[in-house]
Amino acid sequence: MLKRQFDACLIRPGDIPASRDDLEVVGAFNPGAVATGNGNEVALLVRVAERPREQRAGYTPLPRWNVDAGEVVVDWVADDELEVVDPRIMQQKRDGLWRLTFTSHIRVVRSPDGRSIGAIDDTLFVPQEMYEEFGVEDPRITRIGGTFYFTYVAVSRHGAATALASTTDFRTFQRHGLIFCPENKDVVLFPEQINGEYVAIHRPNPSSPFNMPEMWLARSPDLVNWGRHEHFLGGAGSWDTGRIGAGTPPIRTPAGWLAIYHGNQKETDPGVVGAYAAGALLMDLENPAKIIRRSPEPVLTVTAEHERVGFVPNVVFPTGIVERGDSLLVYCGAADSATGVVELSCQELLVTTSGTEPGRYI
């Protein structure tokens, strides 16, 4: 585990106003982050999770977006018709399908220096499509040219898909539609074309348990149409065999493409999610499918109080990265509740990957 040169909880649920008086914010986490080029300013796209304030004896409120009306509606379901999967998910007994106990939208937050919060904007990115009925989640931002592209998870009764949007000012947004169909999430874009193509890391999430969790690569001529999929990386240790997926978008270093990814410890106890941690990858500049090295152990584990205690305890979930000279500011979701930032030495991070084997699965 790397030494944290700086560590702060930037945003807690109470810092974000609810979108409506009858809703309460239970999470402000998993932020996309990028330097805007305006001095040291960093723009954050923060996932805001909300649930109904009202409680009814014997019933559970399950919110969703009515995208035609542009507002959240609540389905009240009898408790005896539901089973708890974990704090985030209820399973309907009649059909075995899942519903979320909250719904999410994305809010713009600005930091003047990357280490503190300045303005919490009124700008919201809310569900608008049928594939976003249960919310929009977990944006990852990559600057390509003068445009900030961000992937996000579109959640609906059809599953978790990945969509793409873009902005130049973090005030107005252009939607580009779904780019990976369900079940697929944790998509990050490389910041430049490689051999004339855009490249993404993505995470298929199949329901058929033929394999352990994996990340894949895909390529595109235009950021919208993706193909040439290939297996990329699977879990290699006890800490990343429950779930594995991209964390921060890759950054270019002289040694190769550097990325931080997340892993989850597999649990067998019902309702227990398991601890999340983060590892590091170094990929070939000309062929990112070639993994040069990976960290043998996590580079980030749960240590801070805001990572230990929250809606889902024991989670550090990297989603954004900003270069600051020889240091990296890594923005993380914490306990599915708060947003944190950790400063790491880029050189130390590269050293953690030295001399290790990729540890691929086939």
Q: What is the CATH number of the domain that holds 333?
A: 2.115.10.20
- Whether cis (ω within 30° of 0) applies to the bond prior to 183 is yes
Report pTM.
Answer: 0.94
> Taking residues 144-170, what's their average pLDDT?
97
Q: In this structure, is residue 200 part of a structural domain?
A: yes
pLDDT of residue 235: 82
Q: In this structure, is residue 358 part of a structural domain?
A: no
Position with higher pLDDT, 60 vs 238: 60
Of the pLDDT bands very low, low, confident and very high (cuts 50, 70, 90), residue 359 is: very low
Interatomic CA distance for residues 354 and 345, integer angstroms: 15
pLDDT of residue 272: 67
Domain count for the chain, please give it: 1
CB–CB of 200/232 below 8 Å?
Answer: no
Quickly count: other Cβ atoms within 10 Å of residue 36's Cβ. 16
pLDDT of residue 267: 67
Q: In this structure, is residue 263 part of a structural domain?
A: yes
- DSSP letter string, 7-61: EEEEE-GGGS--SSTTEEEEEEEEEEEEE-SSTT-EEEEEEEEEEES---TTEEE
Interatomic CA distance for residues 211 and 234, integer angstroms: 9
The residue segments making up the domain with residue 310 are 6-352
Nearest to 278 by CA among 297, 304, 255: 297
Structure tokens given for 160: 């978790």
Torsion 47-52-55-61 (CA) sign = negative
Name the average pLDDT for the chain: 92
Residues 6+ apart with CB under 8 A from 231: 214, 216, 362
> Taking residues 238-251, what's their average pLDDT?
90
pLDDT in tens, 329-349: 999 999 999 999 999 999 988
Share of the chain above pLDDT 90, in %: 81
Q: In this structure, is residue 41 part of a structural domain?
A: yes
Nearest to 204 by CA among 179, 186, 222, 221: 186
Q: In this structure, is residue 361 part of a structural domain?
A: no
